[in-house]
Amino acid sequence: MAELRLDGVVKRYGRTVALDGMSFEVGDGEFFCLLGPSSAGKTTTLRAIAGLEPLQAGSIAFAGREVTGAPVQGRGMAMIFQTFALYPHLSVRQNLAYPLARDGKARDEVRRRVDEVAELLRVGHTLERRPATLSGGEQQRVAIGRAIVRRPKLLLLDEPLTNLDAKLRHDMRTEFKRLHRELGMTMLYATPDQLEALTMAERVAVIRDGRVVQTAPPRDLYARPDSTYTAGMVGAPMMNLIQGRVRHAKGGATIELPFGALDAARWGDGLRAGDEVILGIRPHDVRLGSDPHALSLRAGVRLTEPLGDVTVLDLAARGAPLKMVLREEVASRLKEGGEVEVSFRPQDAHLFHKETGVRIG
């Protein structure tokens, strides 16, 4: 059952179209992510759901009722912004209590719920301190606490980890997953960071220019992207995308690439001679050495990027850029400026129309 449903939502700012038919559904209790680059419409989508932006078209339904034109108060939602937006002159306890006091809750209930949230978020030791004395991670926990203390049915999170360093971002990703599991709350999380989306979400909607282009669980987005756009958004390093052309001969159709030819039989009979295509191959699917059951090629090593336990190799094969990932102990034996023989299997490759970027087969 859908807890939240957006259907054809349109939002314009003058001549600028921020949302162009935004549509998706979030299930009850689901952790759902919106993944897209800057200006794709993530923040505007969350603000529209929260009631902070009037719409030109479309509808929003939440918890079984239409909320498109409903006031912000009473929607049963809470939102966490990129900035923590804590009141600097109030203590942590007062920050957490503010939404409840504004709602007119009894003093004893306010204290009880603040203490419960502080314990859940492990900030009980900071209750009498001011926000300026807290670490970034503690401030983020307080901002989360202020959002959930009213027990909303839906929590909207707008790039909440942007202002944290790498270690804190890692810790807070774990914290959000724990909170989701313990609270059972529906969460809608917007981010440009694929790592956040893929590690936390049950499903991810990839958005582009104010509309959804693909929605799927993280594993499916990685294994079967619907377009070159999704292929480039999901996976690190990003998928190798190599231009090719379909050629027909007596032996059947092949994909002619700058460094060789690949049997096109696995993509069906719809390919026409001369069609321009994009072949995609994940860097992790490029293997070192030749393989009689794969397309083998020689490539020059342009750059090595050590990442600790693995190294990304930036290769060039007859002018075509190609990345691969190797264990550090193997990559350390390869030198920039040298040559290596690599291969990849046809079953690991993806094929897209060059003009539209849409997946073939």
**CATH classification of the domain holding 311:** 2.40.50.100
Total domain count for the chain? 2
Q: Which pLDDT tens digit goes with each residue over 204-262? A: 999 999 999 999 999 999 999 999 999 999 999 999 999 999 998 777 888 999 999 88
Does residue 71 sit in the same domain as residue 158? yes
Q: Which helix (H) or strand (E) holds 140?
A: helix 136-148
Query: CA 195 to CA 14: how far, in whole Å?
Result: 34
Query: CA 322 to CA 344: how far, in whole Å?
Result: 11
Does residue 272 sit in the same domain as residue 223? no
Range(s) of the domain holding residue 315: 240-353
Whether residue 105 lies inside any domain: the answer is yes
Query: With 60 as the cut, is the pLDDT of residue 6 above it?
Result: yes
pTM: 0.89
Q: Would you state the pLDDT for residue 215?
A: 98
Q: Which helix (H) or strand (E) holds 97?
A: helix 92-102
Tracing tokens 């909170």 back to the chain, one arrives at 179
Coil, helix or strand at residue 155? strand
Residue finishing a domain among 218, 233, 248: 233
Instruction: Please report which confidence band the pLDDT of residue 303 belongs to, taking 50, 70 and 90 as the band edges.
Output: very high
Q: In what order do the strands lie in the sheet with 276-281?
A: 260-263, 252-257, 240-249, 276-281, 350-353
Q: What does the pLDDT average to over 33-38? A: 96
Does residue 114 sit in the same domain as residue 204? yes
Residue finishing a domain among 195, 216, 233: 233
Q: Which residues contact 233 (CB under 8 A, 6 or more apart)?
A: 35, 36, 37, 194, 206
Q: What does the pLDDT average to over 189-207? A: 95
CA dihedral 223, 229, 233, 235 (to 10 degrees): 30
Residue 19's identity, in one-letter code, is L
From 96, 85, 165, select the one nearest 124 (Cα to Cα): 96
Tracing tokens 């990003």 back to the chain, one arrives at 238
Which one-letter DSSP state was computed for residue 226? Answer: S
Q: Would you state the pLDDT for residue 271?
A: 85
Which one-letter DSSP state was computed for residue 355? Answer: T
Does residue 174 sit in the same domain as residue 138? yes
Cβ atoms of 234 and 191 within 8 Å: the answer is no
Tracing tokens 């009037």 back to the chain, one arrives at 54
Coil, helix or strand at residue 80? strand
Does residue 194 sit in the same domain as residue 126? yes
In the chain, pLDDT over 70 holds for what percent of residues?
Answer: 99
